[in-house]
Chains A and B, each alone.
Chain A
C-alpha cells in the first residue's frame, strides 16, 4: 500500500477531489497547510510597509491507495491540479506498512 501525499493550490481542491472520486477513490484526508517552493511567497503592503509573506496557503491531500493504483492516483492528481503556473505544488508517495479500519478491525487492502 502507498500513501499518496499531494500539496496543491487551494482553489484546485474541488477539481482534484472530483477527479479522484471519478477514479474510484473512496476517501481522502485534506488539511490546510502552508509552505513555499521555488515560487517563494508574495508581497503584501500595509500603510506603505511591504511585508514578504514566505509561507503561502496550500492544501495537503492524503490518499491511501493499493500498490497497483498508486501511480494512477498520482497521475489523476497531477492532471487535475495542473495550471501550468509556478506554485502548482508537489505529489509524492510513501510506502505504508498496514492500514486498519477502526470500525471493523479489517487490515491491509480490505481497509482501504
Chain B
C-alpha cells in the first residue's frame, strides 16, 4: 500500500519540488498501459456486440464508441479536475476548475526519480472513465436511443464517475520534507483506506449498479424472457474477451504507475485469476447445465478480470487463483438472478461486473497478504476484519450512490427526451432505426441504389432521376 501511494502521487508533488526529468521507463509503461486500456473499449464493443441479435449489433457497439468519443473530450475539459483536483469538501469532489482544459499541465512537472509527466497520468485515467461508461451499456441492449445514451453518458460521467474516481483514485500527498499536505484526495482512498488497486469499486461496482438502475428505468425488452434472444456471433464475443484480457494488463499492471515490481505482481495475478475464473465458470456450467460453453469461457474471463482488478496488488498468485475461481463460480450463478427477479439486464452487467466487483473488493479483506506489494493482511492471513470492513464500506457506498444517482439521471432522461425507442423500432432493430445501417450484407442481391446525390458532389445519381443504374456505374 505504502509503495502504491507513493507511486500514485509522485506526479502530483511536482509543482512544489525541484524539476527532475521524468523516469523514461515508468513513463513508457504508463503511456503503453493507457493505450492498452483504450483497446479494452473496442474489445468490450465486440464482447457485447456478439451477444446481441444481428439486428442490434451496430447500436450495441456504437454505445461503446460513443463513450470513447464523448468521455475523452469531457475528461480533458473538466473531468480530470473533478476527479483529481484538490478536494473541495469531505473527500467527495475535486475542484472542477483546477485543471480546466488541462491548461498548465503541459510543462514538465515531474518531481523526482520515478516521476511521471502529468499528462501521462491524465491520459491513463481518461481511458478508465471511458470504459466505465461503456460497461453500463450492456444492461440496456437492443432498446436505447443513441442520442439519449450519449446524454446519459455525459451526465453520468460528470455526476457519478468523475466524483467517485476522486473518492477511490485520488491520494492525498504530503510533502516529505515539511510534512505539509500539498494535495487532498478522496475519502475512500485516504480516510477509509480501502484498497482498490485498479477500480473494483469506481469502475465495476459503479458500472454494475448503474446498469441495474438503467435496466429498471428502461424496462424489459419486448418479449423478454419468453422470446429467445441468443447471441448472434460468439466468435466476436471470444475475440472481445481476448482483447479485454490483453488490455486489462494495462488496466491492472499499469495502475502501479511505474515499471516496477508492483506492476509485475499485478500482471501475473491478472493472468492467473482470469484463467482460474474461466475454469470456475466452465465447471459450474458443466455441473449445472451439462456443457462447458464458449460464452461461459468468455464470461468467466471477464468475471476473473473484474474480481482481480481491486485485489491484484494485495494478494499472492495463489490467492489470485482463489479469488478468480470463486469469481467464476459466483458470477456464473449470479447471471441467473435477473430471471428470478425479472429485470432485463440484457448482457449481465450486474451478474458479472457488480457481483464480480463486489467479490473482488471484499476478497481484498479476505485474501490480502502482507507479502504482496500492498502490504496488508486480510482475514485469512491473520489480519482480522480491519481491512474487510473498510472494503465493505467502500463497496457499499459506491453501490448505493451509483444506483440512486443513475436512477435519477435515467428517469430524468426517460421523462424528457425518452430513453427507449418505440416498440416498432425495437422490433425492426436499433441498427436500422437508430443508425440507418445494417451490420451484415450477406445477400448476393440487395437491389440497392444511391438516393439523391452522392455526398460532396452535388451530382444527382441515375437513380435520383428515376432511372436504373447504367452499365458504366455497374462496371465501376
Contacts and interface: CB of A to CB of B under 8 A. Distances in A.
Contacts of B231: 46
Given A51-B228, A51-B230, A53-B228, A46 B293 contact: yes
Given A51-B228, A53-B228, A46 B295 contact: yes
A48 B230 contact: no
A48 B332 contact: yes
A48 B339 CA distance: 11
Q: Which of B228, B285, B296 has the most C-beta atoms of chain A within 10 angstroms of its own C-beta? A: B228
Interface residues of A, number: 10
Interface string B196-212: 00000000000000000
Contact of A48 (B225, B228, B336): B336
Nearest to B296: A47
Nearest to A45: B289
B228 A47 contact: no
Nearest to B228: A51
A48 B291 contact: no
Interface residues of B, number: 19
A50 B289 CA distance: 9
Nearest to B284: A48
Contacts of A50: 289
Contact of B293 (A45, A51, A53): A45
B456 to A, nearest CB: 40
Interface string B366-395: 000000000000000000000000000000
A48 B348 CA distance: 12
A44 B230 contact: yes
B387 to A, nearest CB: 32
A66 B120 CA distance: 78
Determine which residue in A48, A51, A52, A53 has the highest number of CB atoms from chain B within 10 A of its CB, and name it. Answer: A48
B314 interface: no
A45 B339 contact: no
Contact of B288 (A48, A52, A53): A48
Contacts of B285: 45, 48
Contacts of A22: none
Contacts of A53: 228
A48 B351 CA distance: 12
Interface string B280-295: 0000010011110101
B335 interface: yes
Interface in B270-329: 285, 288-291, 293, 295-296, 299
A52 B31 CA distance: 48
B338 to A, nearest CB: 10
B207 to A, nearest CB: 18
B92 to A, nearest CB: 37
B335 A47 contact: yes
Contacts of A46: 230-231, 293, 295
Nearest to A51: B228
Interface in B411-468: none
A86 interface: no
Nearest to B225: A49
Contacts of B228: 51-53
Nearest to B290: A45
Interface in B241-291: 285, 288-291
B194 to A, nearest CB: 30
Nearest to B285: A48
Contacts of B335: 47-48
A54 B225 CA distance: 17
Among A46, A47, A52, chain B packs the most CB atoms within 10 A around the CB of A47
A2 to B, nearest CB: 29
B104 to A, nearest CB: 48
A8 B454 CA distance: 46
B339 A49 contact: yes
Interface string B323-366: 00000000010011001000000001001000000000000000
Nearest to A52: B228
Nearest to A47: B335
B91 to A, nearest CB: 38
B304 to A, nearest CB: 16
B33 to A, nearest CB: 30
A47 B295 contact: yes
Interface string A44-84: 11111111110000000000000000000000000000000
A47 B230 contact: no
Contacts of A47: 293, 295-296, 299, 332, 335, 348, 351
Q: Which of B225, B230, B339, B348 has the most CB of A within 10 A?
A: B230
A30 to B, nearest CB: 14
Contacts of B348: 47
Interface in A20-35: none
10 interchain residue pairs of minimum CB distance: A51-B228, A47-B335, A45-B289, A48-B336, A51-B230, A46-B230, A46-B295, A48-B289, A45-B291, A47-B295
11 contacts: A45-B285, A45-B289, A45-B291, A46-B230, A47-B296, A48-B285, A48-B288, A48-B335, A50-B289, A51-B228, A51-B230
Given A45-B293, A51-B228, 6 more contacts: A45-B290, A46-B293, A47-B332, A48-B288, A49-B336, A51-B230
